[in-house]
């Protein structure tokens, strides 16, 4: 009983009736003192708006009295029921039984009323219906709160899923495509060449001396330089081109709809752009350049995505080993150059290891004259 009285005292009730004073007095005597009155539908809607803007002032129950016209009362009930801000508020409709009670119940139900009482209203019945309406309001509020929390959780999950989906084919540091995104673009380019007779090109960019900067200034400086290179490259590309970071200091550009002449021009422009870039960190200026390999994707000469990547990488390898800061176009007769370069690459670490271990020896070989057999000089062999 004490709990019911406490609920009644806290309950916020709006009465909409042509003569609301008698009903408000009845509620006050029954322990429902928190009552707001309105003498018509328009005033009642205004009261609802006012209460919604006050802290802890939202209405718990709306009572529509019998002294409003049927049209006004039903219209107010329908508005409260359908309005997004008020549809959780229960509506108790008090009707006059002198007409057709069944029609009154039908109209009230269609308008969204939660309960209907007929005059004369017994106080005990009205009070019990009000407490029931308060329970209904709390249940609706709890459901709405859970729905809102669920929607926020779902929205958060969708954002996370979208973020994960983005990271699947994008580089987190530079925002460019990653290797997976590039391979998807290459797959499409191969299909376009096979079925649409479209030509494309792949550029493979390797930044010269990046490891020196990264090792000297630290990874944070290296990351900033990669971002600077990305920002320098973007304006030089068309909307249809795909820029990707596919390694520590390796970039690739897929040029859709480009023949070899046009692709070579773009490659040279990108090379100059990187060459003109000056990167400053901790008061030190660094120069960076790019070695670029170019491989074509042409109808009638279609290869797989991995083969195209391999060709562009080989062309870049040749550009880097032939002086750096240059562009090399892949050709099938590059293989003998690659063989020589790879042979050199094979011997370099072996020679360094031998130097470190002191494994080299000097051997002196005498050179004798054929006529007199005398030793003229020595050849020194390593």
Model confidence, pTM: 0.56
Higher per-residue pLDDT: 350 or 111:
111
**pLDDT category of residue 329 using cuts at 50, 70 and 90:** very high
Contact 129, 116 (CB under 8 A): no
Mean per-residue pLDDT, 140-156: 84
Most confident of 50-64, 86-100, 172-186, 278-292: 172-186
Task: Give yes or no for residue 94 having a pLDDT over 60.
Answer: yes
Three-class SS state of 37? strand
Using an 8 Å Cβ cutoff, are 232 and 221 in contact? no
Indicate the SS3 state at residue 358: coil
Tokens representing residue 155 in the block: 């929205």
First to last CA, the chain: 108
Q: Are strands 200-208 and 250-256 parallel, antiparallel or unpaired?
A: antiparallel
Cα separation, 233 vs 254, in Å, equals 13
User: What is the pLDDT, as a whole number, of residue 174?
Assistant: 92
Q: What is the pLDDT of residues 6-30, one digit of tens each?
A: 777 778 888 888 888 888 888 888 8
If DSSP codes are grouped into helix, strand and coil, which group holds residue 335?
A: helix
Pick 339 or 50 by higher pLDDT. 50
Alpha-carbon distance of 28 to 35, in angstroms, equals 8
CA distance 75 to 23: 21
Joined together, the tokens standing for residue 3 give 């709990």
CATH topology identical between 2-148 and 179-330:
no
CATH number of the domain at 179-330, please? 3.30.70.270
Beta strands in the chain (DSSP E): 13-16, 35-38, 61-64, 91-95, 115-118, 200-208, 242-245, 250-256, 278-281, 284-287, 289-297, 327-329, 363-368, 375-381
Cβ 314 vs Cβ 293: under 8 Å:
yes
pLDDT at 347: 60
- Which pLDDT value is given to residue 335? 64
User: Which of residues 377 and 268 earns the better pLDDT score?
Assistant: 268
Q: What's the rounded Cα separation, in Å, for the pair 41 and 102? A: 23
Q: Which residues in 297-329 are b (16+ Cβ under 10 Å) and which e?
A: beeeeebebeebbebbbbbbbbbbbeeebbbbb
- The predicted pLDDT at position 286 comes to 84
- The token duo for 228 is 């600077």
Domain limits, the chain: 2-148, 179-330
The 3-class secondary structure across 54-93, one letter per residue, is CCCCCCCEEEECCCCCHHHHHHHHHHHHHCCCCCCCCEEE
Lowest mean pLDDT among 53-62, 159-168, 265-274: 53-62
Distance CA 296, CA 202 (A): 6
Of 137-141, 224-228, 288-292, least confident by mean pLDDT is: 137-141
Identify the CATH homologous superfamily for domain 2-148. Response regulator (3.40.50.2300)
User: What is the rounded distance in angstroms from the CA atom of residue 328 to the CA atom of residue 310?
Assistant: 14
Give the pLDDT score at 309: 92
23 vs 8, 47, 101, 144, 244, CA distance in Å?
15, 17, 21, 31, 74
DSSP state of 247: S
Q: Give residue-wise pLDDT tens across range 180-237.
A: 999 999 999 999 998 888 999 999 999 988 888 887 888 888 899 999 999 999 999 9
CA of residue 382 relative to chain centroid, distance: 61
């Amino acid at each position: 009983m004490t709990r019911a009285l406490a609920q009644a005292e806290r309950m916020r009730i709006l009465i909409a009736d042509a003569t609301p004073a008698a009903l408000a007095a009845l509620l006050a005597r029954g322990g429902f003192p928190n009552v707001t009155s309105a003498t018509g539908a328009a005033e009642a809607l205004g009261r609802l708006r006012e209460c919604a803007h006050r802290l802890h002032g939202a209405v718990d129950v709306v009572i529509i009295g019998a002294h409003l016209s049927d049209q006004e009362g039903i219209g107010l009930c329908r508005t409260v029921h359908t309005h997004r801000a008020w549809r959780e508020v229960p509506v108790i409709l008090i009707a006059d039984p002198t007409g057709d009670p069944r029609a009154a119940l039908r109209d009230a139900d269609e308008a969204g009323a939660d309960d209907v009482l007929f005059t004369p209203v017994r106080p005990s019945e009205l009070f019990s219906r009000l407490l029931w309406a308060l329970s209904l309001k709390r249940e609706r509020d709890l459901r709405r709160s859970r729905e809102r929390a669920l929607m926020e959780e779902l929205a958060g999950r969708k954002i996370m899923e979208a973020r994960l989906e983005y990271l699947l084919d994008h580089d987190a540091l530079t925002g460019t495509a990653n290797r997976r995104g590039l391979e998807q673009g290459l797959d499409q380019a191969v299909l376009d060449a096979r079925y649409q007779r479209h030509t494309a090109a792949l550029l493979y960019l390797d930044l010269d001396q990046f490891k020196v900067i990264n090792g000297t200034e630290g990874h944070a400086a290296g990351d900033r330089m990669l971002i600077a290179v990305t920002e320098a490259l973007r304006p030089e590309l068309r909307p249809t081109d795909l820029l990707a970071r596919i390694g520590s200091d390796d970039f690739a550009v897929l040029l859709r709809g480009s023949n070899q002449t046009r692709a070579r021009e773009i490659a040279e422009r990108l090379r100059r752009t990187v060459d003109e870039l000056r990167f400053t960190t901790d008061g030190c200026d660094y120069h960076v350049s790019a070695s670029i390999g170019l491989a074509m994707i042409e109808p009638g000469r279609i290869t797989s995505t991995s083969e195209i990547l391999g060709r562009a990488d080989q062309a870049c390898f040749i550009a880097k080993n032939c002086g750096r800061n240059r562009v090399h176009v892949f050709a099938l007769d590059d293989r003998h150059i690659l063989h020589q370069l790879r042979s050199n690459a094979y011997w370099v670490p072996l020679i360094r290891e031998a130097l470190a271990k002191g494994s080299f020896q000097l051997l002196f070989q005498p050179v004798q004259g054929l006529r007199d057999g005398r030793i003229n000089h020595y050849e020194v062999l390593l």
